Amino acid sequence: MPLTITKTDITTMTVDAIVNAANTDLQMGGGVCGAIFRAAGPAQLQEACNKLSPIKTGDAVITQGFNAKAKYIIHTAGPIYNPANKQQAEQLSNCYTNSLKLAAQNNLKSIAFPLISAGIYGYPLNEAIQIALTSIKDFLRENNSDITVYLTVLNDKIYEVIMREMESMA
């Protein structure tokens, strides 16, 4: 199962698709979303997103990559953390699964994810990591998929936490 954890800027990756941790309206935001929009060309990516929005939390849609290094951008809307939301773990898992389904449907061979919902959406880091790793590994195994998947982070501390979690799941 080709899953690699990497500490790099997702917008610099040479992969078939990068995943945008989007909002449900697919509007340019801050953080990873803003960086992806800037890399792709904000006006043209926003125009493409406007034709596909709104989406539901956990859903995923695909656009061209425009000026980004990746051929495509898969946009998925993660949940905003709320302890009262009993569906948020499933919604977060669906972000990864639905993005991977889109990649497979479009015959993509490589995809890079950020850690969805763990930034400004406030999802607890360890839970977000567990859901990400489990969802990706389950999809690859259940679909006998040969898609190369990267989970990208910029922060040293988060990278170390993910690597420890990977080792404990092995």
Residues 6+ apart with CB under 8 A from 104: 143, 145, 147
pTM of the model: 0.96
Question: Which pLDDT value is given to residue 73?
Answer: 98
| DSSP symbol at 33 | H
pLDDT interval class at 168 (50, 70, 90): confident
Q: Is the pLDDT of residue 1 over 50?
A: no
| DSSP symbol at 16 | S
pLDDT tens column, 132-149: 999 999 999 999 988 999
Task: Round to whole Å and give the CA distance between 13 and 34.
Answer: 16
pLDDT tens column, 76-115: 999 999 999 999 999 999 999 999 999 999 999 999 999 9
Q: Which fold has domain 3-169?
A: Leucine Aminopeptidase, subunit E; domain 1 (3.40.220)
